[in-house]
Amino acid sequence: MSPDFPMVKDLVLIGGGHTHALILRKWGMKALAGVRVTLINPGPTAPYSGMLPGFVAGHYSRDDLDIDLVKVARFANARLIDGAVTGIDPIARLITVPGRPPIAYDVVSLDVGITSAMPDLPGFADHAVPAKPLGPFASRWDTFRNSVTEPHIAIIGGGVAGAELAMAMTYSLKKRNLSPVTHLIDRGKVLAALGVTARTKMLKALNANGVTIVEDAHVTWIDADHVHLADGRRIQSNFTTGAAGAMAHDWQADIGVIVKDDYIAVDRFLQSSDPSLFAVGDCAHLSHDPRPKAGVFAVRQAPVLFDNLRALLSGADMRPYNPQKDYLKLISLGDKSALAERFGTAFSGHLLWRWKDYIDRKFMRQFNELSVMGQPDLPLTRAMGLKDALGDKPMCGGCGAKVGRGTLRAALGTLPQTDRTDVFIVPGDDAGLLRMGDVRQVISTDHLRAFTADPVVMTKIAANHALGDIWAMGATPQAATVNLILPKMSADLQARTLEEIMATAHAALTEAGAAIVGGHTSLGSEMTIGFTVTGLCTRDPITLKGAKPGDALVLTKPLGSGVIMAAEMSGDAAGAIVARAMRLMCQSQARASVILRDAHAMTDVTGFGLAGHLSGIGEASGTGAQIKLDTVPLMDGALALANAGIHSSLLRDNIVGGGPLTGPMGPKTDLLFDPQTAGGLLAAVAAEHAESLIQSLKNAGYPDAVIIGAVTAERGITLI
């Protein structure tokens, strides 16, 4: 969508299920001008149910199973909010996600699936895992099968899903040369919903896999080691799952729309009793033509939902969804064989597995082969030097969008020194020092070009980034002004966005001890968020000048945010890696600043990268540094991306302006120049106290804190 069109409507998609993933893909190819799209999902990925039995059996990896919502949202130019919805107010049109301000909408769609939790079964919540939602189940199973030595498995629920899981689990563990004992438990007859032919073949497959069937059994309670039945039998189990009794999420019944057994009742247009609220997939009940819970319906609802969302937002006519009466069921049988059933006829064999595998992989390729963001095409006639200035990739956000260290130093070096006696500036330092009588105040400013469309996450990161200058000088945050540029949008969307940003900024700064005292806003082509911050010092501030030869160099956060955000823009970073990097950037350095208050010199690692900021300490202190390259902590995925040749658009400038460095060159060394956003603190501390400081940092919630080297008398940085 062209940035020349202001955003005037908010479309919110709750849940990253099959339908919504397809909606985002279609939206990326045919967006509706003027609409801001938001996806809310508890996590950066969504598992595809069709491949779950294959994943459980070991035929697929977790990457094969998961739809990467970060990539899909980027393709659709949508903002992705990582969180779980707990409520919707259809009157105020607000969505509740714990830990952040409410999210406003004009149109909302639900695709949140179902849960197979059994809240009324004693012990289930503590000692079992529901088969749905799929993501948590897949993670728990992966941990179990890679660690268990004597597996005993109990599946409660003898429908098709439970039978598939029983065979897949047993097959997977046998492939690890284990001897699993698997029980499939049902209160009636297992696979009762299948036709006679299909049920006979499934029972034969269960027996061939060594699955013990327990029928007409009522489970009374579950403990850590057993499933207890009403007739007194105890079934040993160290992995118990529930695949029966699918339920709607409890908050759906409280929305205020018509529900059927807590499922959102929708009409032939997939609309609820509130015309602005749609629901699809397993969380919905088709009032005009009820259908069983099956992924095939969710997939086929996608084009209809896509058209109807656009129609409602643009004032056009909607079209009905007419589900098929029957559908082909392809059921995994543990090994690479499958059973196909439709209209009461059933076949099984390895050829059917190959067919199912082809269908599933084809579905997933839709999300794995999305076009990536590139540079605009150059006109045939252009100014000389335009191609070089444009570069080979889009400009990064965050600190990756800043001017290089060399260019900035050259510009600042031309400024005359101030003759004010109440202003003290250490060249290259994090903040300026102001003296007013006995009061010592530090002041700094920073702003970031957004690299995520979620204003709440971006505000948290920008606040921590700006406060880093205050924390690095050992000061206590005092006050802040907010500086915002919002993309073009209507007055309503301006108000919604400002509410999210200001509520988040207030919470972050208040927690840090600072007060918001004003700010400035304007509209532009993209979102930027910045803060001017002040802090108070009860003693002399920590500056770049003060490092001593022999000091240990302590780093509180891993490196890699620059390369990860660059890779996210180009579609090369896995969503889980991006999400972990975002969480690290949201981490405050307040406690670390207090722990390191006796540092001889300190800075925060931001746009110039570790090497650039360490060079700053060396230049101010008249020292150098020796770094043990293998000890430098890196964010998950950063080194692999660097090895693949991916880098921030600021990397080359940082290398040129980073100061002298000797030692092994390569991708890991490049990461020393990677621009960090809201990075960690880098401190020169007395060597004899370094180990105890590291332990204190780890105890305070900085697990990656580490000694990366030492200060030396020789100038420059040496890598060993």
Which active-site residues does the annotation give? 399
> Strand 681-685's sheet: what is its strand order?
601-604, 681-685, 552-555, 706-712, 624-627, 716-719, 661-662
317, 314, 269, 451: which is closest to 9 by C-alpha?
314
C-alpha closest to that of 55 among 131, 146, 169, 174: 169
Assigned token pair, 640: 């692999």
Instruction: Name which of 343, 372, 426 is nearest 617 in CA terms.
Output: 426
Cα–Cα distance, 719 to 672 (Å, whole number): 11
Coil, helix or strand at residue 392: coil
Type of residue at 263: Y
Closest CA to 589 of 475, 502, 479: 475
Whether 18 contacts 48, CB under 8 Å = yes
3-class DSSP assignment, residue 478: strand
Nearest-angstrom CA–CA distance, 385 and 388: 5
- CA-CA-CA-CA torsion sign (43, 25, 3, 7): negative
Cis check for the bond before 320: say yes or no (omega within 30 of 0).
no
Q: Which amino acid, residue 129?
A: V
- At 271 the three-state DSSP class reads strand
End-to-end CA separation in angstroms for the chain: 49
Please count the other Cβ atoms lying within 10 Å of the Cβ belonging to residue 167.
Answer: 28
DSSP 559: B
CA distances in angstroms from 58 to 67, 167, 330, listed in the order given:
18, 12, 18
| Rounded Cα distance, 314 and 321, in Å | 19
- Please tell me the number of Cα atoms within 13 Å of 641 on its side-chain side: 28
Burial 673-711 (b: 16+ CB within 10 A, else e): bbbbbbbbbbbbbeeebbeebbebbeeeebebbbbbbbb
Return d(Cα 30, Cα 517) in angstroms, integer: 43
E strand intervals along 669-719: 681-685, 706-712, 716-719
The DSSP bridge partners found for residue 525 are none
What's the one-letter identity of residue 149?
T
Q: What share of the chain is helix, strand, coil (3-state, %, to 5)?
A: 35, 25, 40
Instruction: In whole angstroms, give the CA distance from residue 583 to residue 118.
Output: 32
Rounded Cα distance, 90 and 276, in Å: 8
